[in-house]
Amino acid sequence: MKQRERKEQSRGRDGFDAYYRALYGDRWQAIKAAFSEEPRYVTYTVCGGKRVDAVTETAGTARAAGCVPYYLDAGSVRAAASLPLKGARRILDLCAAPGGKTLVLASCMEKEAILLSNERSNDRRVRLSRVCDESLPPEIRARVTVSGNDGALMCRYQSECFDRILLDAPCSSERHVLADEKYLSQWSPARIKTLALEQWALLSSAWRMLEPNGYLLYSTCALAKEENDGVIVRLFKKFADAEVVPSPTVTDVSPFCDEPLPEPEQTELGSIVLPDVQQGAGPLFFCLLHKKTLH
């Protein structure tokens, strides 16, 4: 009976609160308070490098020209801009919907590069395609392909074929859980363990598809360390050629987004943007990994 009672106490609102209070201590109250405010969104406009304040087309013309602005969390831009694209030729956005990070990659990649934006979910893939069609100029859109593969299985038929990979993995998304009474009442630590397994399957597949000397950026919008640093630790245990790049160079996105990007704080292995100190941006964890060439 006591074991059942403990299990029940770890679930729902009280269990959720206790779990994250144990992780973040007194800071948890400030993070929760930040979640109750509007997220810090920025406007991202590709349109040949013109910012949204320079776009004067009508809505129809802007859509036809691939100039529709896209609004996304400032932390997401900060993460995607941390994947170095200089010299990249084959780029993969493994879990790409709804499309914000794809826009960042597409706008910053060199003219010789191509981008595969993959999304397993049919509904989310439709949205991803629409975002690319509406928000990317034709000359960039022509170099972006949208696919619908299961990212965890792609390594079975593709190996070491991308020199840059962005994996923004499905995660707990505590901001959304806290805002929805239904999801909050159903929450349990078991969900984090399940998601960490899914994240590991995606990361290990992505690693096998990454070329030697390539770079992979792993990110989530989760607070749970088990979904963040914990997944990276597992990568190190499995692959001897994995190393963290501690100080990534951030790509200049000012031609597309004229707002300052948030400054992350360090975790055990990566970086995280937290909303209590970044005016509502995040949470957004990211870690840049390099695939060493072993002799």
Q: Which residues are catalytic?
A: 221
Beta-carbon contacts of 100 under 8 Å, excluding residues fewer than 6 positions away, are: 44, 70, 72, 73, 76, 77, 80, 131
116 touches 45 (CB < 8 A)? no
How is residue 109 written in tokens?
Answer: 């990649």
**Token pair belonging to 216:** 């992979």
The answer to whether 105 touches 86, Cβ cutoff 8 Å, is no
CA distance 47 to 25: 44
- Which residue shows structure tokens 């997944």? 231
Helix axes 189-209, 229-238, angle to 10 degrees: 50
Q: Where are the beta strands (DSSP E) in 3-104?
A: 41-44, 70-73, 90-93
Token duo for residue 186: 């159903």
Tell me the DSSP string of 135-199.
Answer: HS-HHHHTTEEEE---TTTGGGT--S-EEEEEEE-----HHHHHT-HHHHHH--HHHHHHHHHHH
SS3 248: coil
Cβ–Cβ contacts within 10 Å for residue 12, how many? 14
DSSP letter string over 211-224? EEEEEEEEEES---
